[in-house]
Amino acid sequence: MKRRATVKLIGAALLGLALTAGNAMAQQKDKMDKVTVMLNWYLTGPNLAFYSGKERGYFEQEGLDLQIQEGRGSGPTVQAVAANNVTFGYADISTMIKVASKGAPVKAIGVAVQTSPIALIGLAEKNIKKPADVKGKTVAVTPGDAPSQMWPIFLKKNGLTESDFKVVSGDAKTKVNAVITGQAEVLIGFSTDQTNEIEAATKKPAHALLFADYGVNNVGLGIVAHRDLIASNPDLLKRFMRAATKAFEDAQKNPEGAVALALKVNPKAASQEALLTGLRATLPLLHTPESAKDRPFRVSAKAMNDTVNLMVESGGLDKGTGPATNFYTNDFLP
Amino acid sequence: MNKLLSSNWVRPLLLVFAVLVLWDICIRVFHIPQYLVPTPLAVLEQGWIEWPMLLRESLPTLYATLGGFALSVLIGVPLAMMIAYSPLVESYLYPLLVFSQSIPKVAIAPLFVVWFGFGVVPKVIVAFLLGFFPVVVTTAMGFKSVESDMIDLARSMGSSRLQMFFKISLPHALPSIFASMKVSVTLAVVGAVVGEFVGSNSGIGYVLQKANGNFDLPLMFAALVVLSLMGVILFVVIDLIERLAIPWHISQRGSAPAASA
């Protein structure tokens, strides 16, 4: 009798302890700010630093309870931020500038990928080593996406015309299939994504010819925020950017570790090799020569000006579009 | 005035007009920005400016739609006849047909491009896959619903099976066949566009992709309107053919039969 009563007492005490501890933890989480970030695409090399950074606790240290959502393209992600459906977006900043110039109240608060990842990608054995090699070949394109927007100006700057080659159009999957099956020799896409997709499927090396090396260098992925949030809660933005900068620096120093952490969160996302190759392809693009000594996300004025000029030249922006400073700010960077 | 209001064309047009007015009012009242939803005027303006391009690009979509639809009818009707006349065939085939219908075409369309290349073939196949199920199901039902009394009567008078088919079964099944064709043709339009999203550099699906990428929402909406109009026109064409083919059917006899008394 006595023993049963003691057990009951101990059990009740433990339960009480657990409840208060749980309550305390919940209260602590309540004290943190809930923020959501919508990525540009599914979990890939260029965006896995958010997952690894969250696992390392960088966001929690800044009092941020971060929810990461995979996206379906930079366009929809920017629109989600503009509609206040998510706190932040991680999207192609050139695309964001386009949407912003049409009235969307968004601004970039940090540009991660500062050198353009847009490239002509194909199997290395097809020997497309310079733009002129495209003559007479078949190029796979996705109408409307970011690479296809910069394609005409790439042609112009390198002395090519539409009649020099054949075009097949398809969605993202079909484009890669076309190169794998040989229906096309090259595709225009992102050196950080499709190169490893092709290598993984064919087990042969793939080669990416970067647009940035041939006169078309506009900025890529970065963090997008709503103008209202920028005005109302600058402290939140500073905390987020501190955490994000640490996350990206950590991925720079230890890519394998970052990939492992990301896969812990989402094991089915992709293979370890694909994520590692994608991340390794992204790291050199996180800077331009002007920002080489700076921490991640601090883009140079030159890179942004070049981007706006390039987009006006390619017809993506109206001639009267204001200065690049309308579209980005480094004020919230550590 | 009443006669004008009850005309077949005026009523739907009035409703469309009312919807456009409501759409415009909602945008003004709720301050919906242009990059989320365009105003009806912006859509009409862009549609007018880009009309030649829209018309030109609707032709490839139309060809793929008609190709897929033709296949749906040419393969679907004989299949339906086999299912209606042979319980053995029905028991083997029908469950497979239903199973195949549940496979999302958007997921397997890239495979068609890999197998058949970039061209009109994948589009026609997707249009066919979407359109042939309603044809088979409804036509089989049409053939099965022929009154057995009529068949028995004909047989008792010494009619051959071929005569029975052409004089009794087929005319009885025609209303079902036409009904299924109307559904099938509108689905074939959807199939052709899905095929274009996946792998094509022409057609309305291509226009939609480019407009989406450029955030040109007015053009996107204008392309959608063109697409819907295509579906409506094809539907009306089949309706007219139906009127010529089966004028005796109750659905074609129109209103006010009682007045003749």
Residue A20 in tokens: 């208060």
Could you give the angle at the alpha carbon of B57 between the alpha carbons of B221 and A316, nearest 5°?
Answer: 60
CA distance B172 to chain A (A): 44
Q: Which residues of B touch A142 (CB under 8 A)?
A: 209
Residue A168 contacts residue A183 (beta carbons within 8 Å): yes
| CA distance readout (Å), B143 to B84, B131, B146, B165 | 6, 19, 6, 10
**Tens digits of residue pLDDT in B152-206:** 888 888 888 788 888 888 888 899 999 999 999 999 999 999 999 988 888 999 9
The reply to whether residue A170 touches residue B198, judged by beta carbons under 8 angstroms, is: yes
Q: Which residues of B touch A98 (CB under 8 A)?
A: 214-215
Res B257 pLDDT > 50: no
Query: How much is the pLDDT for B206?
Result: 92
Cα–Cα dist B170/B143, whole Å: 7
CA distance A183 to chain B (A): 7
Q: How many inter-chain contacts (A to B, CB under 8 Å) are there? A: 74
Q: What percent of chain A has pLDDT over 70?
A: 94
Domains of chain A: 32-115+218-326 (3.40.190.10), 118-214 (3.40.190.10)
CA distance B208 to chain A (A): 9
**Element of type H or E holding B225:** helix B217-245
- What ranges in B102-169 are assigned the alpha helix state H? 105-116, 120-144, 148-156, 161-164
Residue A142 contacts residue A194 (beta carbons within 8 Å): no
The reply to whether residue A178 touches residue B113, judged by beta carbons under 8 angstroms, is: yes
Cα–Cα dist B156/B150, whole Å: 10
**Tens digits of residue pLDDT in A135-147:** 999 999 998 888 9
Residue A68 contacts residue A50 (beta carbons within 8 Å): yes
Instruction: Identify the CATH class of B59-201+227-244.
Output: mainly alpha
Res A62 pLDDT > 90: yes
The whole-number average pLDDT for the span A161-188 is 92
The reply to whether residue B198 touches residue A103, judged by beta carbons under 8 angstroms, is: no
